[in-house]
Structure 1
């Protein structure tokens, strides 16, 4: 291993809203481990996902390509097996690539370049969660509803706790096993937790880290005046009427969400300790980010699926004090930019020969103080939409366009809460027209709309057919060879104990 190929530890949290973290200004939430990374690393103040929904966001992140280029339209879309991901590029450059946790791959390929996948996924790998724009009023059972909010509170165990405890353990073991190995290749380990994604429930100890009265309520409460057409559709999708939830339930949901953030911090702290204890930290670049945010009741909206800041902004930290000076980056970037960044780290700072041109742009200029881009392009084609919902974030402005709906234009420097839509403001008509012209040049919206409908129809049929008769699961089955674990008669006991001990025992005491 050389300094030219650093290890890469990529830490992910699901539905982690950047505004809810202390290093982005939140005064209540406690994250000592992540805050340390932020203090010592480079914090991106304006990082976004490129599609505010789990699977499309992750596919875009992994491939460095916009959803429309890879068919990543919703949570039942398939990432084609011949789509190069950052795992492929790193593995091709000599890395041991491993994934512990969620990546929401749909389809038979459940690896997508990862040499080792240490856990199964928490979500199904089939096409059953398809979106159907042609039957918008029919509500599938898997859609979000408001039970996550109305039932928010403490628990002893949950589906998500079972999963993330395993994800953390497997990540720790990977690092310990790597430290005990011959280390002939650098590693890239992705650790992807499902918290703080709803349902909003967390053990009592994390619930009790926060006092009921200190929980902040939404800065922008529900108002009919703020309900643009897409927001109204979202509230319909998750069955939120004006009398569905109470202020007490909103506060409980936010309290549980904050507790889940602290749980994530503790779990990632265990992984970071394993990295330190294994002697691997010095030559490892740590990246922390997420797939999208959570509205948490802002504007009367919950979960994700919109381009408002709470839903679309994500945390992003790059921690490598020996390589990059601590600081903050104000320019807007996206998780799609991670693939070219990872690939250049693996290639001595140079862009590799990409199999296909990527849409993401390297973050290395931002990390080294040499400037860098200030632009995010986004596409959303999932639940609550009835046509592609397109976003451009550049400079101080955010522009959102969907053919059936009025445009949205926000000046985020003057209006960070997005209360004033400037799309109809006479003084901003030239700017609005420039954005509309750019949308027309970037996208053939009618063709894209038809591609989404065609994809939905195909997957609807395949999902229905595959559930009839004998069902063959695509869900990843992690394999562990117990015949070579622990004490077995295939290896001398003293040799086994010596091999497993780290660091090696000294001959003299």
Structure 2
């Protein structure tokens, strides 16, 4: 039986699969990700189950759909009792650690991770709770078009501050694991915030691209009729109040590509660290994103919808000694990651889970044995006032939201989703079956009531917690300086021998 593998999870934020050469993009420059894809398994049709930061991450960590765990929006709490891959892998004997973003809201800021190396970039409180009862009220804290209008070059940003700390901490952790005496395998999650807007990146990344080579949206706002959800997204992000020029669109996409190259450089640093520490041959590497970015397609920006730009994500799994390189065309999603990680930890002999999962393991796909071809999506965040639901199966994508016209696309014939076939008589039988499936799978009215009640409680909670002495939930990393570097209670030779890698015998004077 093979030794249990180490697992390194590399997560980008708002990285659409459509921005990577491994998925057909002809503009972006990502040599490190390209090499990872060339030696790994590329899931060509991978999706997020909820195109918003916190819900997508809760799903990815728990193997459960948003409605199962009340993961409605970016101020939703992940309850402590919800099991995550952190719990599952610790139970299987792994050391689990997180460096970077996971957008946990609430008092529990670990959720199965044995340790966190950094704080989060986003708040842990309930301040960003939407209000479905006031659809015309645009939240002051939400996206606006400043990210597009002001897109371009920067010297520094809070996202650069954060991501460089994340990578430094992760790299140090890999060295500590390599030179430490903990015999357990590890699962280290490194979660960066680029290429999430605002679209601003240093000159050296901007200059990797010629401005005239930046591609423009394939489908403009005037090329397709706006569905009601898209109109609500335009309102909630002030897109209609702030027209953008073609040059501003190109600037934003240029900066986004620069940020993608920044991510690629960080991937390269961490993969090089695996080689330097001698851990590469024993480590499975997963690269993925929480959701995508519309980048001006259909006149939309950011995420929050089930169009391909927002919900298609990269998913690359590389372990050349374990999985043959290849490409998987079946539709899978990030809810499938937890059972896959457990299969990796148990060499496919996954023990019975203590609960029912919504995700299905990608183990058969990784071994060329077929596997499922289905994605279920749920969105309960800003820009909707009722559950936005999606079924993706085979070449079919069906999107349903009570009160809105249905959307039906055949993606093999219409990859840009220009033609909604929901009113096509030739698709009447298919549409009827999908509507029936929706009604059997979800009670939309009850879900809507649950979401509104939860929103009301959290807004009240935040207002109460803001009165008087405020106790923040934001994670505070602790570093014991008394155990770092040179300290008088540790013999110098012993300390230097412990800290040096590769190890040497300490015989100095």
The TM-score, its normalising length taken from structure 2, stands at 0.98
Q: Report the equivalent of 1:44.
A: 43
SS at match of 1:378: strand
Note closer, same or farther for the CA distance 1:452–1:243 as it changes in structure 2 (3 Å cut).
closer
Q: Report the equivalent of 1:337.
A: 336
SS at match of 1:314: coil
Q: Report the equivalent of 2:380.
A: 381
Note closer, same or farther for the CA distance 1:243–1:164 as it changes in structure 2 (3 Å cut).
closer
SS at match of 1:260: helix
Structure 1 stretch displaced more, 428-437 or 224-233: 224-233
Q: Report the equivalent of 2:319.
A: 320
Matching of residues 38-187 of structure 1 within 5 Å = 38-187=37-186
Maintained 8 Å contact 1:125/1:474: yes
Maintained 8 Å contact 2:340/2:360: yes
Matching of residues 82-481 of structure 1 within 5 Å = 82-223=81-222, 225-241=224-240, 244-481=243-480
SS at match of 2:221: coil
Q: Deviations over 1:378-425 (max 9, x none)?
A: 000001011000000000000000011000000000000000001000
Maintained 8 Å contact 2:145/2:242: no
Maintained 8 Å contact 2:497/2:506: no
SS at match of 2:98: strand
Note closer, same or farther for the CA distance 1:4–1:443 as it changes in structure 2 (3 Å cut).
farther
The TM-score, its normalising length taken from structure 1, stands at 0.98
Q: Deviations over 1:48-93 (max 9, x none)?
A: 0000000000000100000000000000000000000000000011
Q: Deviations over 1:348-373 (max 9, x none)?
A: 31222222100000001000011000
Structure 1 stretch displaced more, 397-406 or 216-225: 216-225
Maintained 8 Å contact 1:290/1:316: yes
Q: Deviations over 1:173-222 (max 9, x none)?
A: 00000001113100000000000000000000001111110000000011
Aligned partners of 2:106, 2:2: CA distance in 1, in Å?
37
SS at match of 2:10: strand
Size of the aligned set, in residue pairs, is 507
Q: Which runs of 5+ in 2 are unaligned?
A: none
Q: Deviations over 1:133-152 (max 9, x none)?
A: 00111222211000000000
Q: Deviations over 1:398-453 (max 9, x none)?
A: 00000110000000000000000010000000000000000011011111111111
Maintained 8 Å contact 1:90/1:343: yes
SS at match of 2:37: helix
Aligned partners of 1:39, 1:176: CA distance in 2, in Å?
26
Aligned partners of 2:416, 2:14: CA distance in 1, in Å?
19
Maintained 8 Å contact 2:15/2:291: yes
Quote the RMSD (CA, aligned, Å). Answer: 1.2
Structure 1 stretch displaced more, 217-226 or 474-483: 217-226
Aligned partners of 2:121, 2:256: CA distance in 1, in Å?
19
Note closer, same or farther for the CA distance 1:224–1:22 as it changes in structure 2 (3 Å cut).
closer
Maintained 8 Å contact 1:333/1:375: yes
SS at match of 2:427: helix
Aligned partners of 1:221, 1:445: CA distance in 2, in Å?
32
SS at match of 1:322: coil
Aligned partners of 2:252, 2:190: CA distance in 1, in Å?
25
How far apart are residue 17 of structure 1 and its match?
A: 0.5
How far apart are residue 223 of structure 1 and its match?
A: 1.5
Aligned partners of 1:432, 1:167: CA distance in 2, in Å?
46
Aligned partners of 1:132, 1:352: CA distance in 2, in Å?
41
Q: Report the equivalent of 2:9.
A: 10
Note closer, same or farther for the CA distance 1:243–1:165 as it changes in structure 2 (3 Å cut).
closer
Q: Report the equivalent of 1:27.
A: 26
Aligned partners of 1:504, 1:347: CA distance in 2, in Å?
30
SS at match of 1:282: helix
Aligned partners of 1:151, 1:493: CA distance in 2, in Å?
53
How far apart are residue 506 of structure 1 and its match?
A: 7.2
Note closer, same or farther for the CA distance 1:257–1:469 as it changes in structure 2 (3 Å cut).
same
Q: Deviations over 1:458-484 (max 9, x none)?
A: 101001111111100000000000001
Segments of 4+ in structure 1 off by > 6 A? none
Aligned partners of 1:408, 1:242: CA distance in 2, in Å?
26
Maintained 8 Å contact 2:99/2:169: yes
Aligned partners of 2:261, 2:15: CA distance in 1, in Å?
11
Aligned partners of 1:473, 1:80: CA distance in 2, in Å?
17
Maintained 8 Å contact 1:332/1:394: yes
